A and B are shown apart, each in its own frame.
Chain A
């Protein structure tokens, strides 16, 4: 049995805390590191370990639940549920994806990341996507 997945939060990042936690959870859900039937830690425990307010984690859980990844049952925590990935996207996702990717690249370049490092990360990401 592999190690339990971890979630990362960078308080120095300009990206809001809710967005960081949501993105981190979504990556693990899409990659099936968090499989259906897995329970997530309570809002209180995760907030304490990350050192963020309860509401930040609760909002991240709500956003992920709204996307269909989680079942939030009062008093029973957050349960990962099976969610089929749509076969086709309802609108032209390529353009939106490209815009967001270019925006992200511009952002990290503005923060000082070297183009070669960015390119290497993109290559690694492409390999992961092709494997999945």
Chain B
């Protein structure tokens, strides 16, 4: 289990390490710069400092996970992702302010095709139905083997691999994880549709749609594994690592699509990026989602009320776990 945790947090650290390479060449730490700036001395120095901070946080964390006694493993494993994100945030905002004097504020002309061709979903959109089939199959499997399900079974495990939360054999206990996954999958389908019809046409939009479907599969499979675990007994490390099968390809696809764009930059005015270039707020832009300046992918236009509706519904879905499971 220790090794599984080390794998997960090393991957998280590598992800943070790659943050400067996640945006198109004209954006570095959410600052619009010349395309060759990151290869120059100032850009390189900035990236090195940022990565040095990540390594300084990651290496002690990995050592702590490997060599810490079992009694402190739990707190360390819980604190690790937050510490990594905190260090990434500090490094990012530090470098953002460092690079601001080098910002190049240009507003490029925009072009739009005068076409009424329908904005059809990508060909692979039908794959979004797959996770619902997986959840349904899991529910039918549980229904068919109801008598074989133990009266009490674990549904959550600690960092030491030992179960720390149990459920009982009743409708809520057995089907709860599947219902929660169903809610999450529905939310991701809604987010996929919103990102497709609420963003400007670009290749990155297709990549994002595919990644949201992949996340949907990850959730569907993970919660199906948890739900049928009382009957099949998967190893805990396998359950912990299974999301990586989807997360790793998703991250690689998004980074490649975002860092090597085949479309012109988004027409998002610099003055509409708040909070160090992380939050986009532009009431004059009808887009619901725009290309990020921090990390790969899209972010909401917080001036669009649908962004609040989507985020609010996600909070409700996440909070519903206390009622369902």
Provide the residues of chain A in CB contact with B269, threshold 8 Å: 11
**Is there a chain A Cβ closer than 8 Å to B163's Cβ?**
no
**A44 at interface (Cβ–Cβ under 8 A)?**
yes
Which residue on chain B has the smallest CB distance to residue A13?
Answer: B109
Residue of A nearest to B285 (CB): A51
Q: Please report the C-alpha to C-alpha distance between residue A51 and residue B267 in the assembled complex, in whole angstroms.
A: 6
**Known contacts A11-B269, A52-B284, A53-B284; is-contact A46 B112 (Cβ 8 Å):** yes
In the complex, what's the smallest C-beta–C-beta distance from B290 to chain A, in angstroms? 9
B160 at the interface (CB under 8 A from A): no
Within 8 A of A (CB), among B271-325: 283-287
B266 to chain A, nearest CB (A): 8
Which one of B109, B119, B268, B287 contacts A10 once the chains associate, using CB atoms below 8 Å? B109
Among B110, B116, B283, B286, point to the contact of A9 (Cβ < 8 A): B110
With A40-B114, A45-B119, A50-B267 known as contacts, the answer to whether A8 contacts B109 (CB < 8 A) is yes
Given contacts A48-B286, A49-B200, A52-B284, contact A11 B114 (CB under 8 A): no
In chain B between 107 and 156, which residues have their CB closer than 8 angstroms to a CB of chain A?
A: 107, 109-117, 119
B114 touches A8 (CB 8 A): no
B45 at the interface (CB under 8 A from A): no
* Interchain CB contact under 8 A, A6 and B116: no
A64 in the interface, Cβ–Cβ < 8 Å?
no
The size class of the interface chain B forms with chain A is 20 to 34
Give the residues in chain B near A86, CB-CB below 8 Å. none
B286 to chain A, nearest CB (A): 5
Contact for A40 among B110, B116, B117, B266, CB less than 8 A: B116
Task: Decide if A41 touches B112 in the complex (CB within 8 Å).
Answer: yes
| Cα–Cα, bound, A28→B117 (Å) | 18
Hey, which chain A residues are within 8 Å of B285, CB to CB? 51-53
Hey, what's the 0/1 contact readout for A41-74 against B, CB within 8 Å counting as 1? 1101111111111100000000000000000000
Are B110 and A50 in contact (CB-based, < 8 A)? yes
User: For residue B117, which residues in chain A have a CB less than 8 angstroms away from its CB?
Assistant: 4
- Evaluate whether A5 and B107 lie within 8 angstroms (CB atoms) in the complex, with A47-B286, A53-B286 already known: no
List residues of chain A with CB within 8 A of the CB of B107.
10-12
**B116–A7 touching, CB < 8 Å:** no
A39 beta carbon closer than 8 Å to chain B: yes
Q: List 16 A-B contacts (CB under 8 A).
A: A4-B117, A6-B111, A7-B112, A8-B109, A9-B109, A11-B109, A12-B106, A12-B109, A38-B114, A39-B116, A40-B114, A42-B116, A47-B286, A49-B110, A50-B110, A51-B268
Q: Could you list which residues of chain A lie within 8 angstroms of chain B, going by C-beta atoms?
A: 4-12, 28, 34, 38-42, 44-54, 77
Q: A11-B107, A40-B116, A46-B114 are in contact. List 16 more A-B contacts (CB 8 A).
A: A7-B112, A8-B111, A9-B112, A10-B109, A10-B110, A11-B269, A12-B109, A41-B112, A41-B113, A41-B116, A49-B112, A51-B110, A51-B266, A51-B285, A53-B285, A53-B286
B interface residue numbers (CB < 8 A to A):
106-107, 109-117, 119, 200-201, 266-269, 283-287
> Nearest 9 A-B pairs (CB), nearest first?
A51-B267, A49-B112, A10-B109, A4-B115, A11-B107, A39-B116, A53-B284, A12-B107, A48-B286
